[in-house]
Amino acid sequence: MESLHGIPGGKKEVWNTVSRIYLDGTLTTRTDPQVLEEMLPYFTEKYAVPSSQFSHSHGKAIEEEIEKRREFIKGYIDGKEGKLIFTSGGTEANNLAIKGFARENWDKGMHIISSSIEHQSVRHTLYTLEKEGFEVTYLPVSPEGYVDPDDVKKNIREDTILVTLQHSNPEVGVIQPIEEIGKIVKEKGIAFHVDAAYSTGWIPFSVENWKADMVTLTAHKVHGPKGTGALWIRDGIKIKPLIDGTFHEYGLRGGIPNIPGIIGFAKALELMDDEERERVKYLRDYLWKRLKEEIEDIKLNGPEERHPANLNVTIRYVEGEAVVIQLDLLGVSVTTGSACFSRKLEASYVLRAMGVPYEDAHGSLRFGISRFTTEKEIDEAVSRLKEVVERLRKISPLGRKE
Ligand SMILES: *Cc1c(COP(=O)(O)O)cnc(C)c1O
């Protein structure tokens, strides 16, 4: 396991083997080849499972390897005082945290506080709980996307049992004042869940400083494999499992865990360091600078201080959908609004909650920079985008004043 500390060379290599430019790193990222390499033996050579540790040494060896990763990830988030339950990703971890806690603790109260810009996996989990009789308060956000800690305080009631908020938002990059909110929630003795799926690896944090009781993580947004995540739970917090089965993952998640995925998850975190985050942030800032230089009537959505890999802009007098489709024809992958909403041609609920006017929300573009993005790709993408915007504005029915 020394390799968790020393990174073998080559991580700065550019792995782009395709000419298309992928700028949708907010939705998912490419699994780093070094991550894949680490995972491969766990398919074909080390294929035993931890639960067979009591029967034979194949199982014991895997159990030790998985526990090392579990401890490493717990250390990474400063979560020694809790359990890490591996899941199939952020979505399952959010479901497990929120449903698991609510269904175990409903006798203490049935009120939950959240926000109006949560990820769909939190929103829909809360909708399900509402059908089961729980009451949810969805806090509003400021024009930049911030939840006001005072609002959290004001909305806490006698029967509030849980506050669930995301750390960073994948659409507009806003980072919530979780530490301040955590203090308030803790003072009231209420459980605090933080969805840190998008922050995993990108923004270092401490679950202790947050005073969090449950924290959601995922691997695939930070060059880890898809289908692997985790829920961290503070010792003493009780939840009901969602998936019943054999006594895996402390009895809180039945089914044999994704062993290669867990190995890859730890490796992906190991590959992240400040240098890497700075480099991606530099590229993101470079993209924003180039966009402002080349395209008129463009504005930033969300705050300046944001997730290092995220950019969200509104280009006025064009339709985001039209831009995305035309850019795709020119070999550039980006998205407009939120991925799930764009399919329905509705304005993004996140931007709407921030008070972004309907037309501006429709003209929004979301970029996700990754480890594999290059400056050259950004230059190329901006020049293709400029071409598309100019073409669309010529025929735009959206009333641009000349
Ligand atoms: C991506 C994401 C999730 C879902 O994680 P998956 O691993 O894709 O299921 C949850 N919350 C936030 C904030 C995310 O960005």
The answer on 345 and 210 residing in a single domain is no
Evaluate the CA torsion angle 368, 372, 375, 376 in order and state its sign.
negative
Residue with CA closest to ligand 1 atom 2: 197
186, part of any domain: yes
Q: Is 89 touching ligand 1 by the criterion CB < 6 Å?
A: yes
The answer on 283 and 240 residing in a single domain is no
Provide DSSP, 116-144: TT--HHHHHHHHHHHHTT-EEEEE---TT
Closest by alpha carbon to 282, among 223, 369, 203, 364? 369
d(CA 275, CA 374): 15
Q: Whole-model pTM? A: 0.93
Q: Which of 253, 271, 289 is the last residue of a domain?
A: 271
| Per-residue pLDDT tens digits of the chain, which is 402 residues long | 444 544 444 444 433 444 789 999 999 999 999 999 999 999 999 999 888 888 888 889 999 999 999 999 999 999 999 999 999 999 999 999 999 999 999 999 999 999 999 999 999 999 999 999 999 999 999 999 999 999 999 999 999 999 999 999 999 999 999 999 999 999 999 999 999 999 999 999 999 999 999 999 999 999 999 999 999 999 999 999 999 998 889 999 999 999 999 999 999 999 999 999 999 999 999 999 999 999 999 999 999 999 999 999 999 999 898 999 999 999 999 998 744 444 555 788 999 999 999 888 888 999 999 999 999 999 999 999 999 999 999 987 665 554
Please list, in sequence order, all residues whose beta carbon lies within 8 angstroms of the beta carbon of residue 162, skipping any fewer than 6 positions away: 98, 101, 102, 105, 112, 113, 190, 191, 192, 193
Closest by alpha carbon to 284, among 204, 376, 378, 221? 378
Residue with CA closest to ligand 1 atom 4: 90
CA of 258 to the centre of ligand 1 (A): 17
The answer on 219 and 330 residing in a single domain is no
Work out how many domains the chain is built from and give that number: 2
CA of 119 to the centre of ligand 1 (A): 7
Q: Provide the domain limits for residue 79.
A: 33-271
Domain CATH for 83? 3.40.640.10
CA of 197 to the centre of ligand 1 (A): 5
Q: Is 173 touching ligand 1 by the criterion CB < 6 Å?
A: no
The answer on 234 and 91 residing in a single domain is yes
Q: Which of 271, 288, 318 is the last residue of a domain?
A: 271
Q: 243's torsion region: left (phi>0), alpha (psi -120 to 50) or beta? A: beta
297, part of any domain: yes
Q: Is 170 touching ligand 1 by the criterion CB < 6 Å?
A: yes
